[in-house]
Amino acid sequence: MTKLTIRAAVAALALLLAGAAQADRVAISALPAYHAECAACHMAYPPGMLPAASWQRLMGNLPKHFGSDASVDAATLKQLSEHLAANAGTFKKVARDPSPPPEDRISRAPWFVREHDEVDPAVWKRKAVGSASNCVACHVNAAQGSFSEREIRIPK
Amino acid sequence: MPHTPLSRSTTRRGLAAAALALAATAAHTATPAELLAGYTTQAGSPAQAARGQAFFSTTHGRAWSCASCHGATPTQAGKHAGTGKPIQPLAPAFNPERFSDPAKVEKWFRRNCNDVAGRECTAGEKADVLAWLTTLKP
């Protein structure tokens, strides 16, 4: 390989990596009520990671939210619903296929399952992980909307 | 832009004002003792810390007890039994934010009693649990 080809290959790789890093960044919610109400029990999932139809169903059923009572007052519910409707489905992989995942779970979306297919089932059961809803267990900067491969630390 | 001593003190004053404004809007409108007194009056009989600890530690016909998420002795952080998310200490002596906002206290009693017992808690149960939590001291 000539020097020039190597340089071109390096440049191409850098571009590719930059693109990949961009794809791993997801917009996080800027609504304080979303963090106060939802992130008490789980990470404030990026609103763009579910399509509007899923958020609408979830907000319509907060007293029975995946087995927990997550009810909020009417004014807060309206605020959360509008915020989620406005920001739903903006994540690239959801925009590409905005069909609601089974049970409206981010973790059941085909893109999510594909991205995690190399993770050993035993890893999910580790005490420090617990369930697929605990993004931060491995994606250390998930709360900041960063899911890049380089920022994964799988706990022992 | 380099900070001159003047701009730094201006920043500090701005921050102090912002902190004050925040403190004014934050709803710190009750102490744990006041809330306990309120629930006790509502219940019509004295609260019992030992009964509160028992309620907290045992299940009530469902999978989770209070301790499932808050820990058996909630002087330290707990962990949400479903999601693994850390939960800050519940005992007010270890976390001054706890039992300081009546609306928030009511909201969480409503949600969590529904998860643990499948119903709202009685004023007596709330008084008992709060009585126990306030006995936990550093």
Q: Where are the domains of chain B?
A: 30-135
Say what the pTM is.
0.79
Q: How far apart are the C-alpha atoms of A113 and A154, rounded to whole Å? A: 17
Confidence of residue A10 (pLDDT cuts 50, 70, 90): low
CATH fourth-level superfamily of B30-135: Cytochrome c-like domain (1.10.760.10)
- The alpha-carbon gap from A127 to the nearest alpha carbon of chain B, in Å, equals 9
Range list of β-strands (E), chain B: 78-79, 86-87
Residue with tokens 């519910």: A77
ipTM of the shown complex: 0.77
Taking an 8 Å cut-off on Cβ atoms, the answer to whether B82 and A63 are in contact is: no
Taking an 8 Å cut-off on Cβ atoms, the answer to whether A41 and B84 are in contact is: no
- The alpha-carbon gap from A58 to the nearest alpha carbon of chain B, in Å, equals 16
In total, how many domains does chain A have? 1
* Cβ–Cβ contact B115 with A under 8 A: yes
Whether the CB-CB separation of B43 and B122 falls below 8 Å is answered with yes
Q: How far apart are the C-alpha atoms of B73 and B52, rounded to whole Å? A: 12
pLDDT of residue A122: 93
* Cβ–Cβ contact B95 with A under 8 A: no
Greater confidence, A9 or A25?
Answer: A25
Q: Is the pLDDT of residue B38 over 80?
A: yes
Q: Is the pLDDT of residue A45 over 90?
A: yes
Q: Which domain holds residue A141?
A: 3-151
Residue with tokens 């296929």: A97
- Residue A25, classed as helix, strand or coil, is strand
Q: Is the pLDDT of residue B42 over 60?
A: yes
* Cβ–Cβ contact B114 with A under 8 A: yes
Q: How far apart are the C-alpha atoms of A65 and A100, rounded to whole Å? A: 16
For residue A156, being part of any structural domain is answered with no
pLDDT of residue B21: 45
For residue A66, being part of any structural domain is answered with yes
- Residue B61, classed as helix, strand or coil, is coil
